[in-house]
Amino acid sequence: MNATLNNLEQLYRDLAPTVLAYFRRQPALAPVAEDLLQDTFLRALRRLDRLGESASHRAYLFGIARHVGLDALRRRRPHEPLTQEPAAAEDAPDPRLEPMRLAIAELPDAQREALLLKLNHELSYEEIAEVLEIPVGTVRSRLHHAVLRLRVTLKPADFKKDSP
């Protein structure tokens, strides 16, 4: 048990920023991202035995984070507004990527969720399958169809730099 607890501590040090980013990238969850991060690791602590059984600790934690986020969306408790302005991003987002963001937002939920786990968090197909509790073949299919839709929706001209 102690070895697994040490594993969880190491996972927190290694993955807390990534799991926090996962919550912050979801507009409905961003205001309570820190609380959801803590809930995720609290649930992992309560199920230490399952952590040891998981093939991928990262996928296991993202699976818990997904369920924590879904539970939070179901509850939809009002939250207190931020008392200070969030820190500005170091780099301004590239405006040429906006068509891609909009196209991804229009994907069906299942395809978008799989694609964002792949793009934002660099999870493997196997890890995505574990997070979403679906077969690896279904992950491959969802990603394939998402990419096909994006190819149809987006045009190369959407990404060209504006010339003076």
Instruction: Give which of 102, 97, 110, 95 is closest to 144, Cα–Cα.
Output: 110
| 73 shares its domain with 6 | yes
Range of the domain at 48: 1-77
Q: Look at residue 87 and tell me if it is in a domain.
A: no
CA neighbours closer than 13 Å in the CB half-sphere of residue 79: 16
pLDDT at 133 over 70: yes
Structural contact between residues 66 and 133, judged by C-beta atoms closer than 8 angstroms: no
Binned at pLDDT 50, 70 and 90, residue 95 comes out as confident
Domain total in the chain = 2
Give the pLDDT confidence of 18-62 residue by residue, as tens digits: 999 999 998 889 999 999 999 999 998 888 878 777 778 888 899
| 73 shares its domain with 1 | yes
Going from the C-alpha of 108 to that of each of 77, 113, 146, the distances in angstroms are 26, 9, 8
Q: What is the pTM of this model?
A: 0.64
- The better pLDDT of the pair 81, 161 is held by 161
